[in-house]
Structure 1
Amino acid sequence: MSFFENTRKPVGFGGKIMVAMMNFGHSAMAGWGLSFLRPAPDAMVLDCGCGGGANIKTLLKLCPNGKVQGIDYSAVSVEKTRKVNAGAIAAGRCTVQQASVAELPFEAERFDVVTAFETVYFWPELAQNFREVYRVLKPGGIFFICNEANGETTKDDRWTQIINGMTIYTDTALKEYLEKAGFCQIQSHKNKKGWLCVTAQK
């Protein structure tokens, strides 16, 4: 397995390096994307594919009276996220568990916001996975997707060749999948770096 495969599912020592790199390397993109999200101070938030846990830390600050839960199917990611957010976990404001977006371990209509940073590239069945996100969102809830690649540049092709199982979606493709899952009021934002942010409402 190449080192870059750890972007999909971090494992072992290479995975630990990767999640640390994720926290640092994705911070500017995440900050840009979050400028398009306005969660309520008491929002219940789920971060799917929580990686190294830095985005959960930011979301906890954005929702000072709320709670943030995280899932990732990588044990390495779960361990790192728990360390990064140990204070919030101890305070009862955060939980992190190993799980897959294909079958979210939550009851219906639980969350105000579901976020997905740099992760939908690797979701196995996008249509079904989006339906799962839709299921756990409250009516009027927001699904927030933030990607470093928007599927419109030549460098995107290079990444899909390096990383097995990676698919980079355009905003148009994501919109189609979101609409099929039942989402409405879909908005997309792009910048000159090729970053993409999409928000959709239940």
Structure 2
Amino acid sequence: MGERKLWSGEPVGGNPFALPRGPLGVAAGWVLARANRRQQAEILEALAPGHYRSVLEVGCGPGVLLDLLASAPGVEEVAGVDPSRQMVSMARRRNAAALRAGRLRVHPGSAGATGEPDAAFDLVVTVNTVAMWPSLDDSLAELYRVLRPGGRAAVSWHGASSRFALTDEEDARVLAALRRRFGAAERRELGSAVLFEARR
């Protein structure tokens, strides 16, 4: 992220991990698939996705969590969106069987514009994307829009032990923005991540 001021409305710029593009973006996708696997497994356990029929992952990257979600018992529909066309392609290749079976679909989209219909999902999850959203409030409004009444929003970021961890002020801003949009929200520390949760 460099010196970029969070949630300033600025684009993410040339960081290959923020918006993977071209050959360097493909390499970044392989790194992300390895580096985030432990955190994604923790998120999956914390969310107990079998309680949700339809799930959207925002910023699905190379599709590791999509694979776990599409394989979870009780989950009937999984969708993934990512602003990087390279990541959409990688996620589709990783999850080719689920795509063919009609259990999964993946397409370009962002936290601020998922391209999904209103009130379509029981669970919306995003891992390690919140600090790269140009607008915190606009993106949370989009997550709220695509959730069904009673649906759950789960926003995860690197934990306190990571060099990418949010500052205390940034952490508080995420929680406050969720509470403004959803009315109530909670924050949990997991082994390698922080998880912010709210229900519509």
TM-score by length of 2: 0.84
The amino acid of 1:139's aligned partner reads P
Q: Report deviation, 1:127.
A: 0.4
Q: Distance in 1 between matches of 2:148 and 2:70?
A: 19
Q: Residue 63 and residue 156 in structure 1: after superposition, are their counterparts in 2 closer, same or farther (change >3 A)?
A: same
Larger fraction in helix:
1
User: In structure 2, what is the equivalent of residue 155 of structure 1?
Assistant: 163
Give the one of 190, 197, 200 matched to 1:199: 197
CA contact (8 A) 1:48 1:72 kept: yes
CA deviation string 1:155-183 (max 9, x = no partner):
348x99xxxxxxx931x221101011124
User: In structure 1, what is the equivalent of residue 87 of structure 2?
Assistant: 77
Q: Distance in 2 between matches of 1:23 and 1:154?
A: 17
Runs (4+) off by over 6 Å: none
User: In structure 2, what is the equivalent of residue 24 of structure 1?
Assistant: 34
Q: Report deviation, 1:137.
A: 0.1
Q: Distance in 1 between matches of 2:175 and 2:43?
A: 17
Using the aligned pairs only, state the percent identity: 25
1:130 correspondence with 2:140: yes
Q: Residue 63 and residue 142 in structure 1: after superposition, are their counterparts in 2 closer, same or farther (change >3 A)?
A: farther
The amino acid of 2:175's aligned partner reads K
- Secondary structure of the 2:170 match is coil
User: In structure 2, what is the equivalent of residue 49 of structure 1?
Assistant: 59
1:15 correspondence with 2:25: yes
Segments of 5+ residues of structure 1 without an aligned counterpart are: 161-167
Segments of 5+ residues of structure 2 without an aligned counterpart are: 3-13
CA contact (8 A) 1:45 1:69 kept: yes
Q: Distance in 2 between matches of 1:154 and 1:93?
A: 34
The amino acid of 2:92's aligned partner reads R
TM-score by length of 1: 0.84
Q: Distance in 1 between matches of 2:196 and 2:69?
A: 17
The amino acid of 1:114's aligned partner reads V
1:115 correspondence with 2:125: yes
The amino acid of 2:17's aligned partner reads T
Q: Distance in 1 between matches of 2:68 and 2:144?
A: 23
Q: Report deviation, 1:192.
A: 6.3
Q: Report deviation, 1:198.
A: 1.6
Q: Residue 97 and residue 183 in structure 1: after superposition, are their counterparts in 2 closer, same or farther (change >3 A)?
A: farther
The amino acid of 2:39's aligned partner reads M
1:97 correspondence with 2:77: no
Q: Report deviation, 1:35.
A: 2.2
CA contact (8 A) 1:78 1:98 kept: yes
Q: Distance in 2 between matches of 1:155 and 1:121?
A: 13
